[in-house]
Structure 1
Amino acid sequence: MNELHFKRHRRLRTSESMRSLVRETHLQKEDLIYPIFVVEGEKVKNEVSSMPGVYQVSLDYLTEQMNELEDLGIRGVIVFGVPKEKDEIGTQAYCETGIVQEAIRQIKRDHQSLTVIADTCLCQYTDHGHCGVVRDGVVENDESLELLVQTAISQAKAGADIIAPSNMMDGFVAAIRKGLDEAGFVHVPIMSYAVKYASSFYGPFRDAAHSSPQFGDRKEYQMDPANRLEAIREAESDVEEGADFLIVKPSLAYLDVMREVKDRFNLPLVAYNVSGEYSMIKAAAANGWVNEREIVLEKLTSMKRAGADLIITYFAKDAARYISE
């Protein structure tokens, strides 16, 4: 064997301490953002049937949830609302006393250490389940922008630290940035769902948020999963319009897109580890087919390796515990 010349890569894998010493990508608690579903009423804590461990909670249970996040060292939460009343124009999305607005006020009052992100969309609040105003079966882009601006302003007034518009209307970042600035919220950043695919991985979320379209689908305004260059065009537009963060959603099936977005744009990149990605692992783990701890950490690390600075994930609490072990 003396005449052979080859590299001994295994030298850097000989022990856990050695592997830790040369590890390139690190997952930290500070990287994690936890999604919360807030519902109207009292004493409501409903586990989402398709998302084990994820709950819809009323405001009286919200403090319990936020205390747990603080104790685990998680610094960010993104708030989704599930209103009792819906109508064709999503009035409760921009109501000053809407469920998201009330939840934001409560969190900011009682948990100043948490960064509160408001999801800004209409789909949970419209009786048709689409992300904008519908006329003759078509989601009207510009008319929808007006209501999304009202929603963002109402969330900022309630105390949201970050506005996260997820509607995929053309020009939504420009419209919301202008609206926030004119309303005196120049300091509030926009975490844009810049690259959001019309994905089959969203199914369990629609159970949690009661946001399934009542007709058709969202392929007219969300992106075709086959397209890569379109993602760059979408992200570029949002950067030009004033976005402060860029989200790629979903993340696990689009790691290649995340890497390209990160390489091209010098903004914080957020991976959204979506509900379907969560539920598949939970189901496999419940059947003993995978090691949940190991696969969760591997999956989240892959998103960091692909360029994510932050990760929105339903596994945030679990991952924080794993990181502490």
Structure 2
Amino acid sequence: MFPIHRPRRLRRTDILRKMVRETTLTPQDFIYPMFVVPGKKVKNPISSMPECFQESIDEAVKTAKEVFSLGIPAIILFGIPEHKDEKASSAYDEKGVVQQAIKAIKDALPDLIVVTDVCLCEYTSHGHCGIIKNGKIDNDSTLEILALEALSHARAGADIVAPSDMMDGRIGRIRKVLDEEGFSDVIILSYAAKYASSFYGPFREAAQSTPAFGDRRSYQMDPANRREALKEVALDIEEGADIVMVKPALAYLDIISDVKKNFNVPVAAYNVSGEYSMVKAAAQLGWLNEEAVMMEILTAIKRAGADIILTYFAKKAAKLLQ
């Protein structure tokens, strides 16, 4: 009872506040997303994502070196191929842009963890995450292509493959193929609870993956559902996922918390493009302090239970934390 209890005593100075701080961010918490494209000396600004770029492999290597120098342990690669078709054949091409980028980055930075997005939306002519049959996304035939894509990434040297398609059974199929081909050490980071969110708009510009028709609600999760996320996570762990992810992060802090409380595996969260872009836009208009809001958001994501945060803010946040 007051005046015995005075919680403000522990907030009196900056040193005291830091000493009793419950949640601490470090650069080791981050994975930095990168978009790789064919060509040389290419560094295309992404209009809806200030300070982010589509980069050719030579430029991506430079960025990866910067990322690693900041103490960030990992990157995740998204590819924009020269050729798209209905079967996503470029997704598993051994000479594809992601496969070549993996090799170049691992040659330059052997200790940097390279994660790869495993999905078909960047590689299909229609922009959907699966193979289309009779006007619908065919789940089971898509699994075979996803497994080939993950295997091609592993052969190129990827440390972690990250299936983001939300097809049923994909983790089990990918794990089986990787193990059979001698890649049992390759980690699977599953986009286990990926919602059909409106926050993905800027990413679709960056990855050139906007669906040509319809939407992705038949395979991505309904934003209104909470219990379903736990079911999806449980299934992916059962099938062999090593790390599970919630996407997006900011509007789904309750889901991150639920997953952390219910499962004994590392939990990742994706601070997605729309979450990034709205902060950048408001800051450009002078409506908020970008650095302060950025750090508050990232701290909230970690406080909710994320062990790993995929974020386009990774470089800027790491510099502040240093």
TM, length-normalised to structure 1: 0.98
Is residue 2:162 matched to residue 1:195? no
Contact 2:195 2:221 in 1 (8 A): yes
Tell me which amino acid in the other structure corresponds to 1:227: N
1:271 maps to which of 251, 269, 272: 269
CA-CA distance at 1:60 after TM superposition: 1.9
1:40 maps to which of 30, 38, 50: 38
1:318 maps to which of 309, 316, 319: 316
Is residue 2:157 matched to residue 1:159? yes
Moved more, 63-72 or 302-311: 63-72
2:24 maps to which of 17, 23, 26: 26
Match of 2:102 in 1: 104
Contact 2:68 2:74 in 1 (8 A): no
Secondary structure at the counterpart of residue 187 of structure 2: coil
5 Å matches for 1:1-325? 5=3, 7-324=5-322
Tell me which amino acid in the other structure corresponds to 1:244: D
CA-CA distance at 1:62 after TM superposition: 1.7
Q: Once the two structures are superposed, what CA deviation does each residue of 1:226-277 show, in whole Å capped at 9, x if it has no partner? A: 0000000000000111100000000000000000000000000001000000
Q: Once the two structures are superposed, what CA deviation does each residue of 1:161-218 show, in whole Å capped at 9, x if it has no partner? A: 0010000000010000001001110111100000000000000000000000000000
Q: Once the two structures are superposed, what CA deviation does each residue of 1:13-42 show, in whole Å capped at 9, x if it has no partner? A: 000000000000000000010000000012
Moved more, 261-270 or 60-69: 60-69
Moved over 6 A (4+): none
CA-CA distance at 1:5 after TM superposition: 4.8
Tell me which amino acid in the other structure corresponds to 1:139: I
Aligned partners of 2:309, 2:3: CA distance in 1, in Å? 43
Secondary structure at the counterpart of residue 191 of structure 1: strand
Q: Once the two structures are superposed, what CA deviation does each residue of 1:53-87 show, in whole Å capped at 9, x if it has no partner? A: 00000012122111211221111000000011100
Aligned partners of 2:284, 2:170: CA distance in 1, in Å? 40
Aligned partners of 1:236, 1:67: CA distance in 2, in Å? 36
Q: Once the two structures are superposed, what CA deviation does each residue of 1:132-175 show, in whole Å capped at 9, x if it has no partner? A: 10012100000000000000000000000001000000001000
Secondary structure at the counterpart of residue 108 of structure 1: helix
Aligned partners of 1:299, 1:256: CA distance in 2, in Å? 14
Does the C-alpha gap of structure 1 residues 13 and 129 become closer, same or farther in structure 2, counting only changes over 3 Å? same
TM, length-normalised to structure 2: 0.99
Tell me which amino acid in the other structure corresponds to 1:271: A
Report the RMSD for the aligned CA atoms in angstroms: 0.9
Q: Percent identity?
A: 57
Name structure 2 gaps, 5 residues minimum. none
Q: Once the two structures are superposed, what CA deviation does each residue of 1:118-142 show, in whole Å capped at 9, x if it has no partner? A: 1000000000000010012100000
Aligned partners of 2:300, 2:263: CA distance in 1, in Å? 19
Aligned partners of 2:65, 2:116: CA distance in 1, in Å? 19
Contact 2:27 2:71 in 1 (8 A): yes
Moved more, 66-75 or 125-134: 66-75
CA-CA distance at 1:6 after TM superposition: 5.2
Aligned partners of 1:65, 1:220: CA distance in 2, in Å? 36
Does the C-alpha gap of structure 1 residues 155 and 22 become closer, same or farther in structure 2, counting only changes over 3 Å? same
Secondary structure at the counterpart of residue 79 of structure 2: strand
Aligned partners of 1:293, 1:262: CA distance in 2, in Å? 27
Name structure 1 gaps, 5 residues minimum. none
Aligned partners of 1:67, 1:34: CA distance in 2, in Å? 12
Aligned partners of 2:65, 2:144: CA distance in 1, in Å? 36
Aligned partners of 2:268, 2:210: CA distance in 1, in Å? 24
Tell me which amino acid in the other structure corresponds to 2:283: A
Secondary structure at the counterpart of residue 299 of structure 1: helix
CA-CA distance at 1:43 after TM superposition: 1.8
Tell me which amino acid in the other structure corresponds to 1:19: R
Secondary structure at the counterpart of residue 198 of structure 1: coil
